[in-house]
Amino acid sequence: MELINTVFIAKAIIVGVVFAITLGVAAYSTYFERKIAAFMQDRIGPDRAGPFGILQPLADAVKMFMKEDFIPANSNKWLFIAGPCLSMLTALMTSAVVPFGDTVTIGGATFDLQGIDVNIGILWVFGIVSLGVYGIMIGGWASNNKFALLGAIRAASQNISYELAMGMAIITILMITGSLSTKEIVEVQQNGHWNIFYQPLGFLIFIICAFAECNRTPFDLPECETELIGGYHTEYSSMKLGFYLFAEYINMFISGAVMATLYFGGYDYPGVDFVTQQFGSNVASFVGVGALIGKSLGFVFVFMWVRWTIPRFRYDQLMNLGWTGLIPLAMYNVVVTGFGILVGKPFMVSIAGLVLLIAALFVYDQLLVKKKIA
């Protein structure tokens, strides 16, 4: 009984801290989104609220709460309220299986710095991410508005299309690791054996799909302002809109954490052994937490960087890329990885596979694509 209590309290603390970090990062993502946009456009960005504008998220939150909370007369009231709640819920649940750090020993008891270490960790992430589209779909449908519905339908079909390629990309990771547990995937990658070196193509597919899953530019068709006003959140105002936007930033952070876990060694960082010898394993674990969060924030920056660089895809281009581009590539990647495992030299084979792919594309281009005579 005593042991269960300690474990329960420790887990509660970990969950609470992860929750707080996620929310804090999401809140400040809004600020950094605007700052990064400004810097990339040679502007300064928000700098009035507090020094360098660091109180801007607070001001935004106050603004969101003060706005009129409007529910359209002909909407389905309960579903209209359920939409943003579901979005937020699914966004927050994903972080449960992300291993934020190695084990920590306090008072003789050893804890994993992870919400839950289930042996189907990656499937959990996928299940929850798939549920995430319900929040958008329900919100868009309940608004009783053509544009909102169109945005919701786009979100649903886009997520379904890109989940396939994403799943295929993950399969290669599972083939290398032999486990679905996120903890084990990270353990395999320790000491610099990061999956990115063995799976460059898989990572490329995964990050493109992550952009699509998070509804970020260049795949932000569900809220495409130029065509659909605001897409699925056209009818939303006040903190309900805030929840939708917040969920998007949480998703960004969590997908960054998942990418770091799957491809960039999770909480691994150069010099783990040195830190362990000098300061003990607890300190090394906490530095690892910092490393994981740093990697995730790096991905958040990449998300924003891409957003302010690339224009939006057209819808047919989006579907074309997903179905005829990424899925065949992911299948090819599975075959190459399998061959690599069979031969026993995964690194060499993955590089050879990449070179072979580019060569094959080049040959195909030379032979079969008709050139316009200049």
By CB under 8 A, name the one of 41, 73, 74, 344 that touches other proteins: 41
68 part of the interface to other proteins, by CB under 8 A: no
DSSP 242-289: HHHHHHHHHHHHHHHHHHHHHHS-TT--TTHHHHHHHH-HHHHHHHHH
> Which phi and psi (to 5°) does residue 113 adopt?
-85, 70
Gap between the Cα atoms of 42 and 44, Å rounded: 7
374 binds other proteins, rule: CB under 8 A:
yes
Q: How far is the CB of 48 from other proteins (least distance, A)?
A: 10
Segment lying near other proteins (by CB under 8 A), choices 39-47, 114-122, 147-155, 245-253: 39-47
Among residues 305, 335, 355, 359, which is the contact residue for other proteins, using CB under 8 A?
305
What is the distance between the alpha carbons of residues 200 and 34, in angstroms, rounded to a whole number? 30
Q: Look at the alpha carbons of 113, 250, 124, 341 in this order and tell me if their dihedral is positive or negative.
A: negative
Choose one: 72-80, 194-202, 276-284, 301-309; the region binding other proteins (CB under 8 A).
Answer: 301-309
Instruction: Say if residues 341 and 175 touch (Cβ distance below 8 Å).
Output: yes
Q: Is residue 372 part of the contact set for other proteins (CB under 8 A)?
A: yes
368 contributes a contact to other proteins by CB under 8 A: no
Give dist(CA 36, CA 305) in Å, integer: 7
Q: Does 44 bind other proteins (CB under 8 A)?
A: yes
Residue 309 Cβ, how far from other proteins at the closest point, in Å? 5
Q: Give residue 17's Cα distance to chain centre.
A: 19
* Interaction between residue 2 and other proteins (CB under 8 A): no
Closest approach of Cβ 42 to other proteins, in Å?
5
Give the ranges where 45-105 is alpha helix by DSSP (H). 56-66, 77-93
Nearer to other proteins, 99 or 322 (CB): 322
> Does residue number 78 form part of the binding site for other proteins (CB under 8 A)?
no
State the residues that interact with other proteins by CB under 8 A. Answer: 36, 38-44, 305-306, 308-310, 361-362, 365, 369-372, 374
